[in-house]
Amino acid sequence: MTKKNILETFENPHPQRDYQITSTCPEFTCVCPKTGQPDFATIVLEYVPDAYCVELKSLKLYLHSFRNDGHFHEDVTNCIANDLIELLTPRKLKIVGKFNKRGGIHTDIEVNYP
């Protein structure tokens, strides 16, 4: 089973209207592929749904599935965006990974679609 298979959808109850959904995961973790040390972040998902919305429990399980994987900040944020774009084909989507300080540097990665 690939990570994106964890994600589930439901039909947008108001597809005739543009509205934004914002989901925040303040407990995201993955592992630095160079050092093996844990990285902690807040992942913020903002999107305008088209036909489908992401089911929140599946989103939580999906994000937690990165816990033991080695990813650079830029990679993991783009992987999440790619999977959600493929799943939802949203009208608009923005993912922001707000990574905690490492080596005294705080990093935010922002991915926008389209």
- Mean pLDDT over 16-36 rounds to 96
- Mean pLDDT over 5-17 rounds to 97
Model pLDDT, residue 3: 86
CATH topology of domain 3-113: GTP Cyclohydrolase I, domain 2 (3.30.1130)
Q: What are the φ/ψ torsions at residue 104 (nearest 5 degrees)?
A: 80, 5
Q: Across-strand partners of 99?
A: 41, 107
For residue 32, indicate whether it is catalytic. yes
Give the amino acid at 36. Answer: G
In the set 32, 50, 69, 75, the catalytic residue is 32
In the set 25, 30, 39, 83, the catalytic residue is 39
pLDDT tens digits for range 35-91: 999 999 999 999 999 999 999 999 999 999 999 999 999 999 999 999 999 999 999
What's the mean per-residue pLDDT of the chain?
Answer: 96
Model pLDDT, residue 102: 83
Nearest-CA neighbor of 6 among 51, 48, 44, 60?
A: 60
Supply angle C-alpha 34, 45, 64, rounded to 5: 50
For residue 53, indicate whether it is catalytic. no
- pTM of the predicted protein model: 0.95
